[in-house]
Amino acid sequence: MRARPLPGLLILSVALLAAVAANAELPKQVTVATNPPGTTYYAVASGLAKVVSGAAGLQMVVQPYSGTSTMLPLLNTGEVDFGLVNAVDMGLSYRGPGFKVGGRNPFPHAPNLRLVMRGSPLLVGLLVRKDSPIKNVHDVKGKRMTGEYPAHLAVWYNMFGHLASAGLTWQDVRVVPVPAVNDGVDALVQGRADVTEHALGSAKVKEADSAVGVRHVSIDCTADGEKRLRAAVPGYYPRVVKAGSATAIVGDTCFIAYDSYLAAGKDLADEVVEAVLKALWENESQLWPIHPMLKEWTRARAIGPDVTIPYHPAAIRFYKERGEWKPEMDELQQKLLALNP
């Protein structure tokens, strides 16, 4: 007489087979596109990749590009799997040339972008040499400011926002053309520019501080300044950083803040999106010690009522299963999808 398997062993066998089948559908490796080494986003992407690689059953590899204008077309076509990009650039690229901020939208149209997880805010601030007479954004009028940023269009909008907070425009400064954000800091260090910008706590800022000594200066953080900032670039908002909390913060300093997105193309396989999202969702505390910005990469920030691109279907299903997706998000999702019918 054949022995019957014990119920517990049968359940365990079914569970193991299901797990093996799920992992068999996953690729061995996925890419996450982001900004160059030395930028905050590169460090953040490296932290996300570390946690995903340790928990998702696949390896996530960071693929740096000069800026969002070069990586977003690849994300749109699926040539890269994931991208770490800010909400403003994502929204401009998703909506296409008919939607403009600051009178322009130079991003290539990328209607296939889909949000996987809204993450922590990126803080960017004006940067000068420590011995500069510039004390705040109002003092940059007539000074040499880095601009154009053809390979890193996000920074053009940052600089535009800095100026707009004070009621200034590009016509109020002498523009020093640079291709990307790190080149702007190089221009400051080399004495070719009086003011540039970079992200809070970035490796490039630390490098510049060691080389010549630098400090961040505030945008206009008054109620009127905030109103001008929000009107100039939807998605931007001010945030004050306390003195001594990071390199180049010599006094309480007002920065531009805007949300970071982990995104994918709409055709990226559901099981890949879910595996990566699950790894980040269940291991958020592992992110926090990696980089200061990752302290705000949390479950609570994953879903937002003001996101600029629609969510990936697998992400929606993931959030619904956990009771986090509210009915009003369905309405927002449909509105965003209707922008690219």
How far is residue 262's CA from residue 270's CA, in Å, rounded to a whole number?
15
Residue with tokens 């932290």: 47
Q: Is residue 12 part of a domain?
A: no
Residue type, 29: Q
Q: What is the pLDDT of residue 17?
A: 40
How many structural domains are present in the chain? 2
Backbone angles phi, psi at 340, to 5 degrees: -135, 70
Residues 6+ apart with CB under 8 A from 245: none
- β-strand pairing of 82-86 with 29-34: parallel
Q: What is the pLDDT of residue 48?
A: 98
Q: Is residue 316 part of a domain?
A: yes
Q: Same domain for 239 and 299?
A: no
How far is residue 127's CA from residue 216's CA, in Å, rounded to a whole number?
4
The DSSP code sequence of 223-238 is: HHHHHHHHHHSTT-EE
Can you read off the two tokens belonging to residue 52?
A: 């995903």
Q: 92: closest CA among 79, 119, 111, 120?
A: 111
Asked whether the CA dihedral 219, 88, 233, 288 is positive or negative, the reply is negative
Q: What is the DSSP letter of 32?
A: E
Q: Same domain for 133 and 235?
A: yes
How far is residue 109's CA from residue 73's CA, in Å, rounded to a whole number?
8
The rounded radius of gyration (Å) of the Cα atoms in the chain is 22
Residue with tokens 């390979």: 151
Residue 208, burial from CB neighbour count under 10 angstroms (0-12, 13-18, 19+) = buried
Q: Is residue 13 part of a domain?
A: no
Residue type, 226: E
Query: Which pTM value belongs to this model?
Result: 0.80
Q: What is the chain's percent helix, strand, coil content, to nearest 5?
A: 45, 20, 35
Q: What is the pLDDT of residue 76?
A: 97
Q: Is residue 7 part of a domain?
A: no
Q: Same domain for 217 and 176?
A: yes
**CA neighbours within 13 Å on the CB side: how many for 169?**
3
Final residue in a domain of this structure, among 199, 228, 258: 258
How far is residue 129's CA from residue 168's CA, in Å, rounded to a whole number?
21
Q: Same domain for 133 and 248?
A: yes
How far is residue 136's CA from residue 134's CA, in Å, rounded to a whole number?
6
Q: What is the pLDDT of residue 24?
A: 52
Q: Is residue 254 part of a domain?
A: yes
Residue type, 280: L
CATH number at residue 239: 3.40.190.10
Q: Is residue 9 part of a domain?
A: no
Run means of pLDDT, 10 residues per run, the chain, 341 residues: 43 41 75 92 96 97 90 96 95 94 91 97 96 98 97 91 98 97 97 97 95 98 97 93 97 97 98 98 96 94 94 98 96 96 80
Q: Same domain for 334 and 295?
A: yes
Final residue in a domain of this structure, among 206, 237, 258: 258
Final residue in a domain of this structure, among 227, 258, 289: 258
Q: What is the pLDDT of residue 341?
A: 80
Q: Which domain holds residue 65?
A: 24-120+260-338
Q: What is the pLDDT of residue 11?
A: 40
Q: Give 121's strand partners.
A: 259
> Under a CB-based contact definition with an 8 Å cutoff, are residues 44 and 294 in contact?
yes
Can you read off the two tokens belonging to residue 279?
A: 């790894």
How far is residue 153's CA from residue 148's CA, in Å, rounded to a whole number?
8
